[in-house]
Chains A and B, each alone.
Chain A
Amino acid sequence: MNRILNWFRRRRLEGDLDRELQYHVDRRVTDLIHSGLPEPEARRRVALELGGATQLREEVRDIWLTRWLRDFVYDLRFSARSFLRSPSFTATAVLSLGLGIGATTALYSLIDQIILHALPVDHPERLVLIDWIGFQNAETFGTANLMSYPICRDLRQQKQFFDGVFCRAAITVNFSTGGESSLTAAELVSGTYFSVLGVSPALGRLLTMDDDQVPGSSPVVVLSYDFWKKQFGSAQDIVGRKVLVNQHPMTVVGVAAPTFHGIDVGEVPSVWIPAVMSAQAIPGFNTMLDRRTRWMQILGRLKQNVFLAEAQTGLQPWFKAMLDEDTRRTNISRASAEQRRRFLASTLALIPAPQGHSVLRHNFSRPLWVLFVATVVLLALACLNVAGLILARGSARHREISTRLALGASRGRIGRQLLADSMLLALAGGLLGVVMAPIAVRALIAFLPHNTAANDLKANLDTRLLLFAFLVSLATGLLAGSAPALQAGRKSLDSALRERGGTPSSGLALRRAIVTTQIAFTLILVIAAGLFVRTLSALLVKGPGFDTSSLISFGIKPALNGYSDAEENRLIRRISEELRSSSSTGGSAIARVQLLLGGAWNNSLTIQDRERYITDREVQINAVTPGFFATLGARIIAGRDFNEHDALNVEAVHQSLPVNESGQRTMIVNEAFVKRYFGGRNPLGARVAMGARPDAKPDTEIIGVVENISYRSVREQWEQAYYPIGTELSGSNFYVRFRGTPESAFRSIRAILSNSDPTLPITYFRTLDEQIDRSLNTERMLAALSSTFGTLALLVSLVGLYGVMSFVVNQRTREIGIRLALGATRVSTIWLVLRDALLMIAVGTAIALPCVWALGRLVESQLYDVRPTDPVTVFASTLVLCSTALGAALIPARRASRLNPTDALRVE
């Protein structure tokens, strides 16, 4: 450290040393003169005693800075000076490295934040996610790794494996402090949540086991630090304040530590609510204590010295006993024999979860890794290009280098000089990359889905990221510099000195290999870009199966505003009426489950046709009002749509399906359903029952067939079944066809909503086009980024190829001159040069194609309607690459053919 400091104060050190030595010399000379020596003799003696002054200085300098460090610094200065002399070379190299390093750093930043980063809690490495592998035979609310609340309570007793176990569910609540209310991200948690994670309060207290006793008994909330700061202006008297959660009064008991943002990086909660308050936090939810309702993720903290595998094995006996006990409980006993078998075959899995649990991670891991690999390839390409450029400079500088070798520089020393060249370029590129990375991260974050809950992703640079960029730059510098450095060490001295323009250089073989590799990499990236673009365009062309222009959808949740079922029902009917009579709308309908959001209501159906059978996979179910299909513009291809008589169930018993006047239940299925279960026969009149239980009564009649429309995503085509929405309308998704501009439609619809209740919680409000855009975010991101990478890679390789071919032409100027003088035609000269380029292109392509075939598996799941080895894409990409590459090679080739033989022969 001291030595590095010495570098910066070396001027002063030098001055001091000079003065010090001068003092010594003067004193010694004076003394010697006093003892009778004549002055010249005295000076000679002193010089002899001290040894050479220059050597002495060198020796002392080596103490200030170790030798290699000094040399390295001098090398860097030398490199910097020589780079400043060729600014275009430097700019190209730094820019390409900067782009590569910036892109890699940006993706690493996201991967780090979403996939790798451990939670800021005590010993995150001991956290595990506890998951049920197999068939749970339970109603599902949520996305992934779900279990019931009672299982979490059971697991807390497994003290020989766990220090503690907690469960949580991410939800949205209507939060208000009396005046304004807004939809707010919240987390329902067990009383053990904070203690197991080891989070401390910033203010007041956190939730404890006392808050986890009797359902409905603990109306308390804990606020997140950021929410407290933003919403309450960091009020110190926050503890004890009353707030309203879905119009239920609750008390703030504390604020969590500032660093803690929940356990899901994609969904940061503002409020934590005890799980026992689930009935208040999720209106209509009253099955918290039901073992057949799965809605929470369970995480545990392993005891110290307990291994994951050990705990997983150790838990199985308890788990099997629980399964066995479950089969004797009432509702599961009605399951079919097959379901029972699958249920009993379930196991319990422990998954390391130092990063917590995140749906975002679940969904985006693969696309992010694919993109990361692409950026690394891009960076490697840039490296190769810089290596090629340095090699080219190396050949231009070979006389300088040979002279230095002849004057006694070691080969290692010359190699180090060339390495310093590439290091300097890489560090400059790294600096540029670090500047660009935050911009790129921000752009990438914009591609991720955004809901009520903010995500915790940041675009700023932290030390980890800077370290990453620095290491990448170092690796880049080494990679780009090692080939030229090794090359410099290999050349024999006398041959190099004797070399003249026109003798082929040995660096050329290496440059050819580099360009060939670049072409291979580029082709892979271009093909990948082609595949992703075709996927996106295929999905856009396919669309959701209905006309999305001039369609708006919005969701309301009156229950979050304290509405009773009957009040909510009346409100929704009133809004529907007003929408229908409004002049700016051309039809509106309601669906229970929102379309194109990635989720669905799934269940098996029992079909009573000529024989009775159960659907071999779960059917996607939705409930809609009459006119839903007409509003969307989806055609009924057989039978009829629902009418208001189909949905008249007066008794409104929980979970029973609506009946019509004659006590008949009705259903509409889609084409895919007919194809799979009726083999294209007419399904009208067939009877169906919800569920797969042996006692399920097939009393629902299929009255219509609708064409296939997208439900979960544009990509998916699945069997669907629709029920009419009964009188119990709750939490509804409206679909409105409008006239005129979206803006005016938004205004008039908002007016209708605020007319009926100004504080009505609106969960979302957007056009269907926007909804489709959102649902295709991943595809859009992959297509946009892979095309960018493909284009950049193509540019980089073309520059590389052009550079090598220009170099070849320069080297062979004399030879070409002789050929021309002897009567070679211009065409044959062009061919002479192009042949070289063609070989590189052909070999590169030959390397790339098997790689594409092998890498296809990695991206297969991201593609739609196109195979990874799709011949059209592969052929078109190869064509693009080959033609542009030939174009790049043609420029130097034409230059060769235009050479004037006399000039060419005079070239030294």
Chain B
Amino acid sequence: MPSSRFPIPQGTLDMLILQILSLEPAHGYGIAQRLEQISKSVVQVNQGSLYPALHRLEQKGWLKADWKESETGREAKFYSLTRSGHKQLQVEKASWVRLTGAVQLIFDEGAAE
């Protein structure tokens, strides 16, 4: 199992969190579960790094948090995207596309030779 899952690339965790929260507000555990599901158990997220990331994004003003009742009836801290969080997500997506495009270009060049 460990061999089939590789650790998440540096810096992409923030982007993934923003992406997940752009669909709907969620609490920390929910985000962890969604990350597992979405990445189809391919990407390994260290759950220990999730909370520092959430607090960092909140500190930067991209997320805001409210205590709300969760699906189990207990109070949980729900994160949602702020306006500037939405903007940031667009920026990160765009640069991700540029980066992967550029990497792909280099690979293609190698293949063409």
Interface residues of A (CB under 8 A from B): 2-3, 16-17, 19-21, 23-24, 26-28, 49-51, 55-56, 59-60, 63-64
Contact = CB atoms under 8 A, between A and B. Distances in A.
A45 to B, nearest CB: 11
Given A20-B51, A24-B32, A51 B77 contact: no
A56 B48 contact: yes
B40 interface: no
Interface string B72-92: 101111000000000000000
A30 to B, nearest CB: 8
A3 to B, nearest CB: 8
A49 B46 CA distance: 7
Give the residue among B32, B46, B48, B67 with the most A Cβ atoms within 10 A: B48
A23 B77 contact: yes
B27 interface: yes
A57 to B, nearest CB: 9
Given A50-B47, A51-B46, A24 B28 contact: yes
Contacts of B56: 63
B10 interface: no
Contacts of A16: 67, 77
Contacts of B77: 16, 19-20, 23
Contact of A21 (B46, B51, B67, B72): B51
Contact of A49 (B47, B55, B59, B76): B47
Contact of A24 (B29, B46, B52, B72): B29
A23 B47 contact: no
B48 A20 contact: no
A56 B76 CA distance: 19
A488 B72 CA distance: 56
A101 to B, nearest CB: 36
A49 B27 contact: no
Contacts of B76: 20, 23
Given A19-B75, A23-B76, A27-B72, A63 B52 contact: yes
Given A19-B77, A24-B32, A28-B29, A63 B59 contact: yes
Interface string B27-67: 11100100000000000001110011001100100000001
A56 B59 contact: no
Contact of B74 (A23, A49, A59, A60): A23
A17 B77 CA distance: 9
Given A23-B77, A51-B46, A56 B29 contact: no
Contacts of B52: 56, 59-60, 63
Interface of B: 27-29, 32, 46-48, 51-52, 55-56, 59, 67, 70, 72, 74-77
Nearest to B72: A27
B41 to A, nearest CB: 14
Contacts of B51: 17, 20-21, 24, 56, 60
A19 B70 CA distance: 13
11 contacts: A21-B51, A23-B28, A23-B77, A24-B47, A24-B51, A26-B74, A49-B47, A60-B51, A60-B52, A63-B55, A63-B56
Given A16-B77, A20-B28, A24-B28, A50 B59 contact: no
Given A3-B59, A16-B77, A21-B51, 8 more contacts: A2-B59, A19-B75, A19-B77, A23-B27, A23-B76, A28-B29, A49-B48, A51-B47
A23 B74 CA distance: 8
Nearest to A23: B76
Contacts of B46: 49, 51
Given A23-B28, A23-B77, A27-B72, A64 B55 contact: yes
Contact of B48 (A2, A17, A50, A64): A50
B76 to A, nearest CB: 5
A63 B52 CA distance: 7
B85 to A, nearest CB: 16
Nearest to A26: B74
A796 B55 CA distance: 51
Contacts of A28: 29
Nearest to A59: B52
B57 to A, nearest CB: 10
Contacts of B75: 19, 23
A63 B32 CA distance: 20
B55 to A, nearest CB: 5
A23 B48 contact: no
Contacts of A21: 51
- Top 7 nearest A-B pairs by Cβ distance? A51-B48, A59-B52, A49-B47, A20-B77, A27-B29, A24-B29, A63-B55
A28 B28 CA distance: 11
B18 to A, nearest CB: 17
Contacts of B59: 2-3, 63-64
A63 B51 CA distance: 11
Contacts of B32: 24
Contacts of B28: 20, 23-24
Nearest to B58: A63
Contacts of A49: 46-48
A64 B59 CA distance: 7
Contact of B29 (A3, A23, A51, A55): A23
A455 to B, nearest CB: 50
Contacts of A60: 51-52, 55
A43 to B, nearest CB: 14
Contacts of A50: 47-48
A49 B35 CA distance: 14
A20 B79 CA distance: 11
A61 to B, nearest CB: 9
B78 to A, nearest CB: 10
Contacts of A59: 52
A17 B58 CA distance: 13
A113 to B, nearest CB: 43
A567 to B, nearest CB: 81
Contacts of A3: 59
A59 B47 CA distance: 13
Contacts of A24: 28-29, 32, 47, 51
Nearest to B53: A63
A3 B58 CA distance: 12
Contacts of A55: 48
A51 B52 CA distance: 12
Contacts of A64: 55, 59
A416 B51 CA distance: 31
Contacts of A20: 27-28, 51, 76-77
A651 to B, nearest CB: 91
B5 to A, nearest CB: 13
A3 B59 CA distance: 8
A55 to B, nearest CB: 8
Contacts of B48: 49-51, 55-56
A20 B46 CA distance: 17
A698 B29 CA distance: 112
B46 to A, nearest CB: 7
A24 B72 CA distance: 12
Contacts of B29: 23-24, 27-28
A21 B32 CA distance: 12
A661 B72 CA distance: 123
Nearest to B74: A23
A20 B67 CA distance: 10
